[in-house]
Amino acid sequence: MRDIDVALGEAADGLPATGPSPRALDRLARGAEKEGVLDVAYAQVDSPFGPLTVAVTPRGLVRLAYPERPLDAVLGDLAKEVSPRVLEAPARLDPVRRELGEYFEGRRQSFETPIDWALTRGFFRRVLQATARIGYGRVSTYAEVAAGAGSAKAMRATGNGLGSNPMPVVVPCHRVLRTGGGLGGYTGGIERKEFLLALEGH
């Protein structure tokens, strides 16, 4: 029997109703990684907004979802769009968990975690890549982001793309405002956009 099968069996035996312990999950994740069958690792990460669902691949951060997005829906999207090999693996999320904690405490101004753009394509990806270049404490407009993505007139498409950002906070769509300074929309709600801007000094 392969190591991963043993780990799965051990993790399933005698588990309480709350699910496997972090230790069992870590053992399972290490076994899956060793066998080359762990493509997407996820965990719940504490934040001022409640628990965020955060997922990474070997290439980097692929998903960050606010609490109102059901976990099953997030995992289903990842299984469909990235890989069905999705496993809860808190230890794999330690680096991004630490960076997010420091950011929310006002002690970090940039993220070192690399980005996996697997959930984005075409113009939408270019919009988010342009957004990722907006520095801490700065803001841009939908028109400027559209121009940075290669289509200055595509402001509506830019807004729609930002509203579907699969990695809010880290890819800082909260830093994009309407021309003239209006807040515009936000994937996590205007209150969160205001919170994040205030955290960064706006």
173 included as an active-site residue: yes
Rg, the chain, Cα only:
18
The burial of 62, by beta-carbon neighbours within 10 Å (0-12 exposed, 13-18 middle, 19 or more buried), is given as buried
Give the model's pLDDT for residue 19: 57
pLDDT on residue 199 = 97
Q: What is the pLDDT of residue 108?
A: 97
Residue-level pLDDT at 10: 42
pLDDT, residue 20, reads: 57
In the set 115, 173, 177, 196, the catalytic residue is 173
DSSP class of 39: -
pLDDT of residue 3 exceeding 60, the answer is no
What percent of the chain is modeled with pLDDT above 70? 82
Spatial separation of the C-alpha atoms in residues 62 and 85, rounded to whole Å: 14
What is the pLDDT confidence band of residue 77, given thresholds at 50, 70 and 90?
A: very high
Structure tokens at 64: 């960050």
Res 180: pLDDT: 79
pLDDT digits (tens, 9 = 90+) for 13-44: 444 445 555 555 555 455 545 545 689 999 99
Average pLDDT over the chain, rounded to an integer: 86
Band (pLDDT 50/70/90 cuts) for residue 12 is very low
User: What domains are defined for the chain?
Assistant: 3-104 (3.30.160.70), 122-199 (1.10.10.10)
Q: Give 150-202 pLDDT, tens digit per residue.
A: 998 899 899 999 999 999 999 999 999 988 778 888 988 999 999 999 999 97
In contact, 29 and 41? CB cutoff 8 Å: yes
pLDDT tens track for 95-104: 999 999 999 9
- Name the percent of the chain lying above pLDDT 90: 73
pLDDT at 37: 62
